[in-house]
Amino acid sequence: MKKVIITGKAHPILAEKLTAAGYAADYRPAITREELVHELPGTEGIVLTTRISIDADIINQAPDLKWIGRLGSGMELIDTAYAATKNILCVSSPEGNRNAVAEHALGLLLNLMNNMTTAQQEVKSGIWKRDENRGTELSGKTVGLVGFGNTGSSFAALLKPFGVTVLAYDKYKFGFGGEYIKEASLEQICRYAQVISFHVPLTEETFHMGDYPFFRSLEQKPWVLNTSRGTVIHQADLLRALEEKLIAGAGLDVLENEDPASLTGTEAVIFKGLLTKPNVMITPHIAGYSHEAFYKMAIVLLEKLGLY
């Protein structure tokens, strides 16, 4: 029987539909890379999330591999170019969690602009401050989106009722502007945006895109959001930008190192520095992890594989 290894947490419907399609679905959400290597012979499909990368070495040890499915967005964990030389199909399912990411980004932004977390913590301590926690309205602001793919466009759609102007930069897309959405250069976003949100894949071009020179170029002292990949923003430079008041605040769902137990000394200092800032909100990579997205990512992947 054809075998599929599911290497990360997935909705049960994924294994159910794979089984119905004649596969032996091996659900191994805690499997290590070494264990995966031993299971590769006879494996026709691999499903992954964010834990294990599929490089040329893995592919070479999987002679029966026909397809690789990524739950969610971002194909940086797969050597897609090498897979193509072996006629291995690679698919992802960003359509499944794009709305969840967009809603989370909006939640981060509204929380930051209205000092919600700070105010709640103060109230829990018996402190009642109104003037100090006066909020700033999103309505009428200029929002810059870096990347206008699945999540960027979904975030833009959620912003429409706020009456904002969206400046969207995407190096690889054109002709998507209209109404409140304006195609823009990165320089225009840096000049005019009062909010900047990153929605890009991790590539050599986007690695540390948010560095100190980037923050220095921001003329409106914007709120900065990142729900894409942690290394898109250089955290040390972000902390410096906050300390120098180059930005109003930051909402992060992703970090350069997302395992607090493995932080180096320098990483720990930077992490603690961010956590102590009242204008910083950090969540544990949950933006695309809603209950609905958990289900939809599996369905989208199955549809793209022709199994649903």
205 among known catalytic residues:
no
Tell me, yes or no, whether 302 lies in a domain: no
Report how far residue 44's alpha carbon sits from residue 63's, in angstroms, rounded to the nearest whole number.
9
Residues 70 and 127 grouped into a single domain:
no
179 among known catalytic residues:
no
Asked if residue 268 has pLDDT above 90, the reply is: yes
Dihedral of the CA atoms 8, 6, 41, 33 (nearest 10)? 0
Q: Give the pLDDT confidence of 91-104 residue by residue, as tens digits.
A: 999 999 999 999 99
258 among known catalytic residues:
yes
- Its domain, for residue 6, covers 2-92
What is the overall mean pLDDT for the chain? 97
Tell me, yes or no, whether 292 lies in a domain: no
Judged on CB neighbours under 10 Å (0-12, 13-18, 19+), 61 is middle
Residues 76 and 220 grouped into a single domain:
no
Q: What is the pLDDT of residue 50?
A: 86
Q: Give the pLDDT confidence of 59-106 residue by residue, as tens digits.
A: 999 999 999 999 998 899 999 999 999 999 999 999 999 999 999 999
Length of the chain: 308
Residues 77 and 124 grouped into a single domain:
no
Tell me, yes or no, whether 298 lies in a domain: no
CATH of the domain at 261: 3.40.50.720
Q: What is the pLDDT of residue 1?
A: 80
Tell me, yes or no, whether 186 lies in a domain: yes
Residues 278 and 184 grouped into a single domain:
yes
Residues 125 and 248 grouped into a single domain:
yes
Q: Give the pLDDT confidence of 219-243 residue by residue, as tens digits.
A: 999 999 999 999 999 999 999 999 9
Residues 62 and 135 grouped into a single domain:
no
Q: Which one from 76, 229, 234, 256 is the annotated catalytic residue?
A: 229
Q: What is the model's pTM?
A: 0.95
Residues 39 and 136 grouped into a single domain:
no
Q: Which one from 28, 33, 285, 303 is the annotated catalytic residue?
A: 285
Terminal Cα-to-Cα distance of the chain (whole angstroms): 19
Residues 40 and 168 grouped into a single domain:
no
Residues 28 and 67 grouped into a single domain:
yes
Q: Give the pLDDT confidence of 28-41 residue by residue, as tens digits.
A: 999 999 999 999 99
Residues 10 and 84 grouped into a single domain:
yes
Q: What percentage of residues in the chain have a pLDDT greater than 70?
A: 100
Asked if residue 174 has pLDDT above 90, the reply is: yes
Residues 50 and 186 grouped into a single domain:
no
Q: Which one from 35, 187, 244, 258 is the annotated catalytic residue?
A: 258
Residues 162 and 245 grouped into a single domain:
yes
Helices and strands (DSSP H and E) totals, the chain: 12, 12
Report how far residue 125's alpha carbon sits from residue 84's, in angstroms, rounded to the nearest whole number.
57
Tell me, yes or no, whether 299 lies in a domain: no
Q: How many structural domains does the chain have?
A: 2
Q: What is the pLDDT of residue 118?
A: 95
Q: What tokens does 65 get?
A: 């591999």
Asked if residue 296 has pLDDT above 90, the reply is: yes
Q: Of all helices (H) and strands (E), which one includes residue 60? A: helix 56-60
Query: Phi, psi (5° rounding) for residue 216?
Result: -65, -25
